[in-house]
Amino acid sequence: MAEYDPQQADPRAGRDRWQAAYDRAQVRDADFTTLSGDPVDPVYGPAEGDAVPGFERIGWPGEYPFTRGLHPTGYRGRTWTIRQFAGFGNAQQTNQRYKMILARGGGGLSVAFDMPTLMGRDSDDPHSIGEVGHCGVAIDSAADMDVLFGGIGLEGVTTSMTISGPAVPVFCMYLVAAERQGADLGKLNGTLQTDIFKEYIAQKEWLFEPEPHLRLIGDLMEYCAANIPAYKPLSVSGYHIREAGSTAAQELAFTLADGFAYVELGLSRGLDIETFAPGLSFFFDAHIDFFEEIAKFRAARRIWARELRDRYGAKSPRSWLMRFHTQTAGVSLTAQQPEVNIVRTALEALAAVLGGTQSLHTNSFDEALALPTEHAVKLALRTQQVIAHETGVASTIDPLGGSYFVEDLTNTLEAEAYDYFERIRKLGGVIPAIKENFFQREIAEASFRFQSEVERGERVIVGVNRYQDADEKPIEILHIDAALEQKQIERVRALRGRRDSDAVERALADRDAGYLARWIGEAAGNRRQLIEEAYPDAGALQRLTVHVPDRLGVFAGITQALAAERI
C-alpha cells in the first residue's frame, strides 16, 4: 500500500482544511440538535494536541483517503437518495408502483426487470414461459418503456436500471422513451448496471463470452462520457456477489477488482481517466453484521481512492471518489416469521447510512416469499424516512469514525482485500480468474461454511433455528395474474405486426448491425448462423440483443431502429 501524505497525519491541520471546505459548502436547513436540545457538531475528531497514531488512514470527511466520506458536509449537505428497487408484472403495473413510491417520498427510481428481459429474450420466446413479469417487469420494446415511465419526467428523476447482458439495447429504449417525452438527453441522470463480470462470478445472466460484452461496455462508457455526462454507464456490483454467499471481505475484494478491470478497459480504449472515472459507480450489499458492514464501506472508499490516484494516475480528486448505492441483504430475509425481517432491514439500512452510502434501497419484509405488496413497500420506504428524520444519525458526519473497533475492522477488511488482489493478479487478472472458477470456488466455500454453521446451530437465525413459532400464520403476499403473460405475449406480437420491419432492418444495417454476431461467429465457427436460425422471428429486445451495431454507432443505430417501429 502506498504511503499517505505527511500533512494528513496532523489532526489540527486536517480539521482546519475540513472546516474551510465545510464553510464553503451548502448545508441543509435543519435542526442539528439532540432531542434534549443539545447542539450536535458537524464532525468529531481528535482533540487539539492529541496524538493519534495512524490518523492519516482515517482523516477528515471530503478529503483523501475519504475513509470518513466523500463530502465535507456528509448528510448535512443532503441526505442519501431513497431509491426503491421495483418492478413486477407489466409496464403499466410497475408505473403505478413508481408513482406511489415517488408520491410517498421516494427520491429516485430503480427498475427491476423480469428474467426474460434480463436474458435478452422477448416475452413470447419459448424460454420465457412461466417467467414473464414474475421477478420484475417485462420490457420487450421502447413502447413498453414509454408506458413504464408514463407521467414521470425522466429529465427530473434519477433512474437506475439493474441489467447487464442486454444493457445496451435496454438503455437505448430508455433514451427513446426520454426523447419522446421531450427530454434533453444530455441532462439525464442515473445508473445502468452493465457489470458483466459479476454475472460470470455470481448472478449468471450473461449472454456471450466476456470479450464482446466488454467491447459493448467500452462503447457505452465512451458514449455516456461524450453525450450524457451525468449518467453513470456502469455500476460495479458487489451485491450479487454477496447474495451468492460471499463474505464481506470477498464482496469488497472481488467488487473492487472488477472495478479496476473496468478502469483498465477505459484506459485501453484511449479514454481520459479524468473523464470516465467519475462515471463509474458501485453497488454494495448491507448485510446483518452491523459493524463489519460499516467497516466494509469505509475500506472500499479508501482502497478505491488510493488505487485510482497511485496505480492509475488520476490527478483530480473527483476521479478518486467511490460513489455507491446500497441495498439491504435479500439473503438475510427469512420466510419464517417474516415480520422480523422489518427489524433486520432497519439495522442493515442503518449500517449503510453510517457507512456513508449515496443511495439506498430497503427490502420489504415479505420478499422471501414473493414480490412485495404495496403495504410492505410502504413500510420499507418509511424505514428509511425514520432513519433520516428521527434518529439523528444524519446530524453529524461519520459518527463512528475513530472507534477502536470500527477502525480495526476497517483495516482488517482492507488487508484481506489486498490479499485477494494479489491472488487475482497471480492468476492473470479478472477474466483469467473467472475462467479458472476462482471467484466461484471462493464464494461456494464461504456459502457452504455459513450454511453449515446455521444447520449446526452455531450461527443463530431468529425464527429459523431458534425461537421458532409453532403457531405462525401465513401473511398476505402478492400474486402475479397468470393472464398477464399471455397479454404481454400478444402485445409483443402485435408490435411486430404493425412496425415497419424494413425500416428497422435498414437502421440496423446502416450502423453495422451484424458486428456482434460476426464477432461471435469469428470466435466460434458457426455460432452466428446458429443464433440467427434459432430466432427467425425475433422481436424488439431479442432482435436488438443479437444484432448489436458497432462502436459509437451502437446507440444511433438502435435508437433509429426503435424509432422506426412507428409506435
Per-residue pLDDT at 316: 97
- Check residue 168 and give its pLDDT: 83
CA distances from residue 237 to 42, 254, 413 in whole angstroms, order as listed: 31, 9, 18
What secondary structure does DSSP assign to 415-470, as a single string?
A: HHHHHHHHHHHHHTSHHHHHHTTHHHHHHHHHHHHHHHHHHTTSS--BTTTBS--T
pLDDT at 543 over 80: no
pLDDT band (50, 70, 90) for residue 502: low
| Grid cell listed for 114 | 423480469
Q: What is the mean pLDDT of the chain?
A: 87
Model confidence at 482, pLDDT cuts 50, 70, 90, reads: confident
pLDDT at 299: 98
pLDDT tens column, 324-365: 999 999 999 999 999 999 999 999 999 999 999 999 999 999
Which tens digits make up the pLDDT trace of 160-206?
999 998 888 888 889 888 988 999 999 999 999 999 999 999 988 88
Q: What is the pLDDT of residue 33?
A: 97
The 3-state secondary structure of 345-406 reads: HHHHHHHHHHCCCCEEECCCCCCCCCCCCHHHHHHHHHHHHHHHHCCCCCCCECCCCCCHHH
More confident residue, 177 or 460: 460
Q: What pLDDT is recorded for position 148?
A: 97
Q: What are phi and psi of 326, to 5 degrees?
A: -130, 145
- pLDDT, average across residues 129-148: 92
Query: Which pLDDT tens digit goes with each residue over 235-282?
Result: 999 999 999 999 999 999 999 999 999 999 999 989 999 999 999 999
CA distances from 466 to 214, 305, 454, 463, 496 (A): 46, 43, 10, 6, 55
pLDDT class for 520, splitting at 50, 70, 90?
A: very low
Instruction: Assign 110 to helix, strand or coil.
Output: strand
Give me the mean pLDDT over the 304-321 stretch: 98
Q: Taking 80 as the threshold, does the pLDDT of residue 220 lie above it? A: yes
pLDDT at 226: 86
Grid coordinates given for 271:
479514454
Q: How far is CA 224 from CA 172, 218, 279, 319, in A?
A: 12, 10, 8, 16
How distant is the alpha carbon of residue 233 from its chain centre?
Answer: 11
pLDDT > 70 fraction of the chain, expressed in percent and rounded: 86
The identity of residue 98, as a single letter, is Y
C-alpha cell, 350: 442503518
Instruction: Give residue 210's pLDDT band: very low, low, confident or very high (50, 70, 90).
Output: confident
- pLDDT, residue 212, reads 79
Cα 41 from Cα 37, distance rounded (Å)? 13
Q: Does residue 506 have a pLDDT over 70? A: no
pLDDT at 552: 30
- Please give the pLDDT value at position 553: 41
Q: Is the pLDDT of residue 504 over 60?
A: no
pLDDT at 516 over 50: no
**What is the model's pLDDT at position 545?**
60
555 against 484, higher pLDDT: 484
Task: Name the 3-class secondary structure at 191.
Answer: strand
